[in-house]
Structure 1
Amino acid sequence: MRAAVLERFGEPLVVREVVEPRPGGGEVLVEVLATCVLPYAAEVFSGQRRYPLEPPVVPGLGGVGRVLAAGPDATRLSTGDLVWCDATVRSRDDARTPDITLQGWSSRGEGGLRLSRHFHDGSFTERMVVPTENVAPLHEGVDPVGFSAVGVYLVPYGGLLAAGLKAGETLLVSGATGNFGSAAVATGLAMGAGAVVAAGRNRAVLQDLRERFGPRVRTVVLGGDAEADTAALRAAAGPVDVVLDLLPPAADAAVVRAAAMAVREYGRVVLMGGVGMLGGDDLALPYPWLMRNSVTVRGQWMYPRDAVTGVVALVRSGLLDLDHEQVTTFGLDRADEAVAHAAANGGPFTRTVLTPCRARDGDIGPAPAPASDTDPGRRVTAR
């Protein structure tokens, strides 16, 4: 079978024949139909992000596929089932504090690194092995290409679960103009937030979010003055119940602080971004303010296992509408082009998708007919 391999950091992906994996106990062999290429993939593959990924490796963060073979511990999966493959793999020998690896992408600590050496290769391939518990059945009406964007929505969904977001509450998204942040706006609305305060510096993107989702979205253009920004965020929609930060590593910790301090008394702040990962100032919050206002601050990396079924339910119900997605697809032979395209096109609801088993030898087939200029529905472009 063929796969796109990262031989060394800083080198292009090499599409070549690799040994087909064989599933063991507790594993499923899946044919990969579609996998989303994240905008910062080029930073991971160059080594800029300093992820504990060990080349040579087939990268890629999960996606949509079909079951080719399942082990005897799979009681409901059948060959041919359409499934979501979740990249968040947890060790099985410690239910309370499991080690975690993101298959084909990253890991946490020494235990996560050890786990990654078994579940090493990701989804930039024709076939991959996934832990049985990481395979979630989908109904046959699902479009694999469009649904592959679910991996982006799962991240903020995990943060909002950690925050205990309740219907009717006000959510503030710090970093709302980015790829994950804009998904957080849509996810918060789907979960019943009464209002979502979208904060960022890109005025045009903020206006687009307001036009897409209507008056429940309140936008705040940040000016860089911490006190003024905090005041503007507090004034945008009254008391803020939950703050979710999704800012990337290059962002200033002062921006996170301004958003966090907009939360009300007894409010919750969840940190999911990358601030400080590549150096720079750590987040500093005043001890007296935290204590006297009974504010809860917690970090959250990824999401619990049952988050997948939760997001799938939101999509099936229509509460989370994937028709906002504008998708460009690439065949496996053009994996490196897909990475470059994702880096140059990382705006809100703009996805780059690799289709390993739909584009063998460049045969992509006809792209779906584009929507009209006045139709906000999903557009798919094949490359």
Structure 2
Amino acid sequence: MKAVILKAFGAPLAVEDHPDPERGTGEVIVDVAASRVLAYASEVFSGARGYLLHLPVVPGAGAVGRVRAVGPDATRLRPGDWVYCDPVIRARDDVLAPDITLQGLSARGPGGQMLQRHFGNGGWAERLLLPTENAVPIGDIVPDDAPRWCILGMLLVPYGGLRAAGLRAGETVLVNGATGGFGGAAVAVALGMGAACVVATGRNAETLAALERVFGPRVRGLRFTGDEDADREAMIARAPGPIDCVLDLPPPAASPAWARAAVMAVRRNGRVALMGGIGMNGGGGLDLPYAWIMRNGVSIHGQWMYPREAVPEMVAMLRAGLIGLDHYRIATFPLDRVAEAVGHAAAHAGPFSLTLMCP
């Protein structure tokens, strides 16, 4: 099969013949129709992000495709089924704290690296091997719609945070860092979950205005000034009432003060989910006041990615029309134009843009 190969950090990506994956028990093989190109992919491939990757590797976190072969333990999945290939692969020998690898992207710790040696190759190839439970049926679709279903990968990350924060219908949520790809997706997900109002914060006034235009009066944009106290007061004032929960999604380059302003804008007994990149490139942490958290009964939840059951839940939300996909601009590239695809993804890093490899 044809596949994109990263042989060394900083080396050009190669498109080569690669051995077909061999299925074992508890595994499926999927014919890939489309796979996402992350906006920061070039930073991963250069080594700038310091991601744990066992090289050489086929990149590509997440894909949509059709099942080619299933193992003897699959009772419902059938060849020909359309599936979302969930890249969050969890070890099966520790239910409470499983080791995790993000297929085609990174690993978390030594256990994740062990998983990566078997399931490391991602979706930038004609075929993909993954655990049976990671092939999630999306129902019947026409082949031309497969790229649109890759938006699942953008929606699932913020859904994991909003789910952890316990967002309920009718509440007001603050999405901190809403002008990035995942932040813009968070606005759509929050509305789909029934939020009465989303206060969307960021540094790009044009993108904030676009969020208001696309999603309507339930979204209120707010541009950061860099003054922590003033920004916190502005967040509170921008909301129609108390802010019930906060989803924090700033990039690694953001100041901790940006996140702290958002966290401390939540109401008494409010909830916060932290999913951003603060501290990933070094620097200080949030330095939140202990007494303020305790006296106000604020719940703070760290959330990396999403639980397994989030995938079929999000599929059901899309099927029900609770979240629309029509506002996304989708650019597709064949494997032999991978360098162009990576550059396109970096240049179109905001909301409503999706870059895909289509083998």
Matched, 1:282 2:285: yes
The separation in 1 between residues aligned to 2:12 and 2:300, in whole angstroms, is 40
* Structure 1 match to 2:38: 38
Matched, 1:307 2:277: no
How big is the shift at 1:141? Answer: 2.4
* Structure 2 match to 1:211: 213
* Structure 2 match to 1:175: 177
Matched, 1:149 2:143: no
The separation in 1 between residues aligned to 2:74 and 2:115, in whole angstroms, is 21
- Whether the 8 Å CA contact 2:22–2:129 is kept in 1: the answer is yes
The separation in 1 between residues aligned to 2:284 and 2:64, in whole angstroms, is 38
* Structure 2 match to 1:360: none
The separation in 2 between residues aligned to 1:141 and 1:80, in whole angstroms, is 11
Q: How does 1:10-159 map to 2 (within 5 A)?
A: 10-141=10-141, 143-159=145-161
What do the CA deviations read for 1:270-322 (whole angstroms, capped 9, x no partner)? 11111111112211111110110011111100000011111111111111101
Q: Identify unmatched segments of 5+ residues in structure 1.
A: 357-383
How big is the shift at 1:46? Answer: 0.7
Q: How does 1:253-268 map to 2 (within 5 A)?
A: 253-268=256-271
Letter in 2 for 1:210: E
Matched, 1:272 2:275: yes
What do the CA deviations read for 1:186-243 (whole angstroms, capped 9, x no partner)? 0000000111000111111111111111111111111110000000001111211111
SS of match in other structure, 1:310:
helix
How big is the shift at 1:354? Answer: 0.7
* Structure 1 match to 2:225: 223
The separation in 1 between residues aligned to 2:137 and 2:118, in whole angstroms, is 24
What RMSD over aligned residues (CA atoms) do the two structures have, in Å? 0.8
The separation in 2 between residues aligned to 1:160 and 1:106, in whole angstroms, is 23
How big is the shift at 1:53? Answer: 1.0
Q: Identify unmatched segments of 5+ residues in structure 2.
A: none
* Structure 2 match to 1:364: none
Matched, 1:351 2:354: yes
What do the CA deviations read for 1:313-341 (whole angstroms, capped 9, x no partner)? 11111111011110011001111211111
- Whether the 8 Å CA contact 2:60–2:104 is kept in 1: the answer is yes
How big is the shift at 1:149? Answer: 1.5
Letter in 1 for 2:294: M
TM-score, normalised relative to structure 2? 0.98
Matched, 1:245 2:248: yes
* Structure 2 match to 1:363: none
* Structure 1 match to 2:340: 337
Q: Among all aligned residue pairs of Structure 1 and Structure 2, give the percentage whose two residues are the same amino acid.
A: 58
Letter in 2 for 1:314: M
Letter in 2 for 1:14: A
Corresponding residue to 2:236 among 224, 234, 238 = 234
TM-score, normalised relative to structure 1? 0.92
* Structure 2 match to 1:316: 319
The separation in 2 between residues aligned to 1:10 and 1:155, in whole angstroms, is 27
* Structure 2 match to 1:295: 298
- Whether the 8 Å CA contact 2:82–2:141 is kept in 1: the answer is no
What do the CA deviations read for 1:97-150 (whole angstroms, capped 9, x no partner)? 111110111111211111111111011100010100001112222510111111
The separation in 1 between residues aligned to 2:139 and 2:326, in whole angstroms, is 17
Letter in 1 for 2:275: M
